[in-house]
Amino acid sequence: MRVRQLTAAAVALLLAAGLGGCSDDPDPARGPEPVPTPAAPTAGTGDVRPVDRDAVEDGGLLRWALDGVPATLNVYQRGANADSTLLAHALYPSLFRPDERGRLVPDPDYLAGAESTPPGQQPQVVTYRLNPRAVWSDGTPLSAADLAAQQAALSGRDQAYQSSRAAGYDAIDTIAQGADPHEIKVTFRRPYGEWRALFGPLYPAAETAGPTAFNRMLTGTGHLSAGPYTLTRYDAAGGRITLEANPLWWGDLPKTDRIDFLATPPERRLDALDQNRLDVAPITVAVDRGVPPAPTASASAGASTPAAAPPAPPTATAAAAAPPAAPPTTATATATAAAAPPAALPEAAALALRRAESLPGITLHRAAAASLTQLTLNAGRGPLTDPAVRQAVGRAVDRRRIAEAALGPLGLPGAPLGSHLLAGDQEGYRDDSGAAGAGDAAQLLDRAGWKRPDGGTRTKGGKQLALTLLFPAGSATARRTADALTADLAESGIAVKPQSAPADTFVQDHLAVGDYDLALFSWPAGPSPAAEQRAAYAKPQPDADGTLAPGGNYGRSGTEEIDRLFDRAAAELDPAARLDLLQEADVRIWQLGHSVPLYQRPELVAVRTGVAGAGAFGFGWPRFQDMGWTR
């Protein structure tokens, strides 16, 4: 499992892509009126049509939208993105996979069993028992050599490996074969409680043994894999990746013969769905940006064409020659992004949502994603250097109103988050917001010397309590969330000036250098919060010149106690004790006034009617071998 890092590429996913929504009501104080929708799923559980394999046809083709052909299929390389991870789920083993509550459970296709030594027994040894039928695509069984090569590449001990940081691999001492070729013993140099997140995905030793092999971008065909599908086409220029059923697959046989992953930018997905060129398409970004339909000849002439009946499901043969949805030119993409000015963005997003809901032959799936949207407070400058002011900001925010404004228009429950570290339906979640303390924001600000004699903006020493609020450009929900936050804080005498920034400058020009007061963005919620989230709350350390280096802690506030709680949680082998330590860390983060959790970001996925096993997955992963067309 990789440690979370908010790189520029991640910002594009976690900010602009992650914040989707719309409203016809521009008044943040009143809140939006929800668009009528079907009953919404519980946050985190996903929204996927249940699969009865007996009701799914054998054969056929599925067409799935990607942002683009990824630069690599190795999720541990620095060029990897969300599309890399999606494809890896179909092609490579993961010894454990998350259930609907984010708990990692063994995947029996790869793992017959796994057991760690009990808490307190040193050294920690995890014994894996691999499924003896699990083989790479050349027929070679999965083995200790594959685990050992991946651990060497991701441990961080050899800087020649150009890998993104992966949590936990540095805690491993040795990996050796056990009593037979299918038993593997992993000995840890220090206890590591989140060991179930390791080796997911697992790559063959041929791709990871040595820096030269590991550093090659994993692209093209001819590479070993061990999933229900194999890679048969990797066409970066043509924007298509094709997977076909693995003839050596030992588990439940894939229902669909072929899956075409087609490079389809978000601004073209609604049109591609309407024109029967896609069957599965994430559309959160398309809705959030208010993408208008592409002009047609009839439309430009003023003609009105009724919606056609949904077409028949495509077959692999019939669709073999069909071109993927063509990527837009730079001019087209720029024009689309600029189609809705900021003032018109909520209305444009509402229209895009209504269009998505009314597409013929399409079902819109909705879920709260495994991603936590929060308001981060910069403790490194201005009034927010005072913990009392940060705590007052936290108490001034009406988190429920914010969540309803963000999620209500999409038919999702407006459930506010009460934890910095866990999502609402994740195992161990607890609302710790009460740790911020009793009393209202006004009392805290009065005691801190920020007075409000005239009912307007508070002042102290002749200076107004005025803060900037950084949020992602081009997002309807981010804009509305920012407006609601501005209204909330104004009620307590805090003046807020919202400022938008594009994804490609959001981190390096603002978060990394501390050029903001308040910032709105999201972090992923994974199955290993102790290891994955420590960096976001670690106490900043001084550089050689004495200046504080925030690292991944863009809030720039932290304590040694919080660091110790994360470290103890990462080393705790008892799951219940580990959750207790994480909750204690969350309490301390609330008390510090580091940030304010708001809500889980929305996830919208359009699926052609008749496709089973696809939708908005929440904490889960696709089970590709079960997907297909219902009878």
Taking only the tens place, the pLDDT of each residue in 306-316 is 333 334 444 44
Q: How many CB atoms lie within 10 A of CB 416?
A: 22
Task: Say how many CA atoms lie within 13 Å of 22 toward its Cβ.
Answer: 27
Lowest-confidence range among 28-32, 80-84, 261-265, 568-572? 28-32
Residue 342's pLDDT band (cuts 50, 70, 90): low
> At residue 13, does pLDDT exceed 60?
no
Greater confidence (449 vs 20) lies with 449
Question: What's residue 52's pLDDT?
Answer: 87
Instruction: Please check the confidence at residue 86 and state whether its pLDDT lies above 80.
Output: yes
Mean confidence (pLDDT) of the chain: 86
Structure tokens at 604: 């919208």
Q: How far apart are CA 616 and CA 470, in angstroms?
A: 28
Is 48 or 410 the better-scoring residue by pLDDT?
48
Angle between helix axes 387-396 and 476-491 (nearest 10 degrees) is 110
Q: Check pLDDT > 70 for residue 31.
A: no
SS3 assignment for 196-212: HHCCCCCCCHHHHCCHH
Q: What's the pLDDT at 15?
A: 45
Task: Take residue 365 and report the two structure tokens written for it.
Answer: 């799936």
pLDDT of 321 strictly over 90: no
Q: Is the pLDDT of residue 338 over 80?
A: no
Position 212 confidence tier, pLDDT thresholds 50, 70, 90: very high
Share of the chain above pLDDT 90, in %: 76
Q: CB count, 10 Å around CB of 437?
A: 12
Rounded to 10°, the helix 575-592/387-396 angle is: 100
pLDDT band with cut points at 50, 70 and 90 for residue 34 = very low
Using CA atoms, how far apart are residues 234 and 261, in angstroms rounded to an integer? 10
Q: How confident is the model at residue 296 (pLDDT cuts 50, 70, 90)?
A: low
Q: Mean of the pLDDT values across residues 200-212?
A: 97
Q: How many CB atoms lie within 10 A of CB 380?
A: 18
Q: Omega of the bond prior to 123 within 30 degrees of 0, cis?
A: yes
pLDDT of the residue at 543: 84
Nearest alpha-carbon partner for 593 in 304, 384, 291, 372: 384
* pLDDT for residue 6: 44
Biggest distance spanned by C-alpha atoms of the chain: 79
Which candidate, 336, 364, 358, places its Cα nearest to that of 348?
Answer: 336
Residue 224 has pLDDT above 90, yes or no: yes
Residue 37's pLDDT is what? 28
Mean pLDDT on 540-556:
88
What is the tens place of the pLDDT at every residue in 562-586? Answer: 999 999 999 999 999 999 999 999 9
Q: For residue 189, what are the contacts with CB-CB under 8 A and spacing of at least 6?
A: 123, 171, 172, 173
In this prediction, residue 546 has a pLDDT band, given cuts at 50, 70 and 90, of confident
Alpha helices by DSSP H, 457-508: 476-491, 503-506
Q: Whole-angstrom Cα distance, residue 223 to residue 232?
A: 10
Residue 159's CB: how many other CB atoms inside 10 A? 8
What confidence category does residue 343 fall into, taking pLDDT thresholds of 50, 70 and 90?
low
CB-based burial of residue 144 (10 Å sphere; 0-12 exposed, 13-18 middle, 19+ buried)?
buried
Check pLDDT > 70 for residue 27: no
User: Can you tell me the mean pLDDT for 469-498?
Assistant: 95
Between 38 and 498, residue with greater pLDDT: 498
Q: 223 pLDDT exceeds 60?
A: yes
pLDDT at 21 over 60: no
What's the token pair of residue 277?
Answer: 């060129």
pLDDT exceeds 70 at position 290: yes
pLDDT for position 341: 60
User: 21-35 as b/e, with b when 16 or more CB fall inside 10 Å?
Assistant: bbbeeeebeebbebb
Residue ranges and CATH numbers for the domains of the chain are 371-601 (3.10.105.10)
Checking DSSP bridges between strand 229-235 and strand 183-188, what pairing results, if any?
Answer: unpaired
Is 40's pLDDT higher than 80? no
pLDDT value, residue 477: 87
pLDDT of residue 8: 37
Please state whether the predicted TM-score (pTM) of the whole model is above 0.85: yes
Q: Which of 136-140, 253-257, 342-346, 544-548 has the lowest mean pLDDT?
A: 342-346
**Percent of the chain clearing pLDDT 70 (strictly above):** 85
C-alpha span between 571 and 565 (Å, rounded): 10
The alpha carbon torsion through 103, 108, 111, 112 (nearest 10 deg) reads 110
Q: What confidence category does residue 487 fall into, taking pLDDT thresholds of 50, 70 and 90?
A: very high
Residue 24 in this model has a pLDDT that exceeds 70:
no
Contact yes or no for 378/516 (Cβ under 8 A) = yes
Distance CA 598, CA 621 (A): 24
Query: Tell me, what's the pLDDT at 631?
Result: 85
